[in-house]
Amino acid sequence: MATRIKIIATTSFAAFYLSACSQEGVEWNEVPLAENVFYESEQVFRSDTVEIPLFAGNDLEYKLEMQKGNSVTYSWTAHNLENPETLLAEFHGHTIRTSAEPGDVMFYKIGRYQASSGYMVAPFDGIHGWYFSNESNSDINIILEIAGFYELE
């Protein structure tokens, strides 16, 4: 006789999921874990909201240090920007150079827009982040919200 375990869940989704997984007679085909699907991290999950003042005619880079396989979700919005065409934004990553040899750089997204959001899994150990160039005649503020496994650079 099978032993039954009764679990009380606090949300309807959890109750449905636990109920569906514990039903007798349900069969599952175990699928092998694919590469680049699951990563375990010794780093602590964190989240930050950063206000980045960007003066007219200036540029800057906001950087995170990340290990290969770590991920970050992000959302940023430029405030006081009259024309999105005057803000160049690049989301990229590069290796940390340890000699005079060239390092590797990868561009994830480049464009001119007022806001962007998404997530990235670091393809290599290194510095990953955003380059912003304010080509307008007005000062702007960029509000960047990030969460994941990273260190602020």
Is residue 31 situated within a structural domain? no
What's the number of domains the chain is made of? 1
pLDDT grade, residue 35 (50/70/90)?
Answer: confident
Q: What is the CATH number of the domain that holds 83?
A: 2.60.120.680
What are the tens digits of pLDDT across the range 47-74? Answer: 999 999 999 999 999 999 999 999 999 9
Average pLDDT, the chain: 88
User: Which three-class secondary structure string do you get for the chain?
Assistant: CCCCCCCCCCCHHHHHHHHHHHCCCCCCCCCCCCCCCCCCCCCCCEEEEEEEEECCCCEEEEEEEECCCCEEEEEEEEECCCCHHHEEEEEEEECCCCCCCCCCEEEEEEEECCEEEEEEECCCCEEEEEEEEECCCCCEEEEEEEEECCEEC
Model pTM? 0.77
Q: Which of 24-28, 91-95, 116-120, 129-133 is predicted least confidently?
A: 24-28
Residue 18 lies in a domain: no
Q: Would you say residue 19 lies in a domain?
A: no
Residue 8 in domain? no
93-108 pLDDT per residue, tens = 999 998 999 999 999 9
